[in-house]
Chains A and B, each alone.
Chain A
Amino acid sequence: AQSVTQLDSHVSVSEGTPVLLRCNYSSSYSPSLFWYVQHPNKGLQLLLKYTSAATLVKGINGFEAEFKKSETSFHLTKPSAHMSDAAEYFCVVNMNNNDMRFGAGTRLTVKP
């Protein structure tokens, strides 16, 4: 079985400070992992993906994530938050088929 847990339902940061959105997964096999962002009333946009190559993955808009197999984690980070980063973020795991499992989402608020 596979599942994904986003550890925080809501994260609030000040503009210019670092962002950390946490994700843990469970999977019996080597998974593919993704982070998506959703702005209000929009669909999901792919931020980055891990597919068994480099464990540190760089994505769009300055985001990156590190795959840590020993910790079964795939946390999303950004060095400096921007107001436009305010959105909902989803961590997704895909085991070995078209079965994508979504976390419940983390809402990121960025304060001026």
Chain B
Amino acid sequence: DVKVTQSSRYLVKRTGEKVFLECVQDMDHENMFWYRQDPGLGLRLIYFSYDVKMKEKGDIPEGYSVSREKKERFSLILESASTNQTSMYLCASTLGQGNRQPQHFGDGTRLSIL
């Protein structure tokens, strides 16, 4: 089975801090994704990457950046955390191109910005 591991389940940070959320997958998947999940809004795509050092903006990239230096690792960075970035963050990966492959998700990081 595919394993997507997010480094922290719960994280509390302060306004203005630089925050790193880490995600690792063990199945050599090309594509990796970062979402945030808020009640009533479903999942919204922040960024995705289809190859090492490649990144694409999703629907809500403002206030975030990403890094993909190795194929298995995809990091989400909050440059200067704000309270409106308090949310559940989910990482996912998928194999190859096209729309036939399902995404595999990590267990999420619940981030609180105080």
Do A and B interact with each other, yes or no? yes
Checking B45, B50, B102 against A34 with a beta-carbon cut-off of 8 angstroms, the contacting residue is B102
In the complex, A49 has a CB within 8 A of chain B: yes
Q: Closest Cβ of chain B: how far from A30's Cβ, in Å?
A: 9
**Contacts known (A98-B50, A100-B45, A103-B42); A42 close to B100, Cβ less than 8 A:** no
Q: How far, in whole Å, are A45 and B41 apart by their CA atoms in the complex?
A: 18
User: Are the CB atoms of B103 and A32 closer together than 8 Å?
Assistant: no
| Chain A, interface SS category | loop
Contact with B along A18-54 (1 / 0, CB 8 A): 0000000000000110101000011111100101000
User: Are the CB atoms of B41 and A104 closer together than 8 Å?
Assistant: yes
Determine the residue in chain B with the shortest Cβ distance to A99. B45
* Chain A residues whose CB sits within 8 angstroms of the CB of B33 once the complex forms: 98, 100
User: Are the CB atoms of B105 and A43 closer together than 8 Å?
Assistant: yes
Between A and B, 8 residue pairs with Cβ closer than 8 Å are A32-B99, A32-B100, A43-B107, A44-B90, A44-B105, A99-B45, A104-B41, A104-B42
B interface residue numbers (CB < 8 A to A): 4, 9, 31, 33, 40-45, 48, 50, 90, 92, 94, 97-100, 102-108, 110
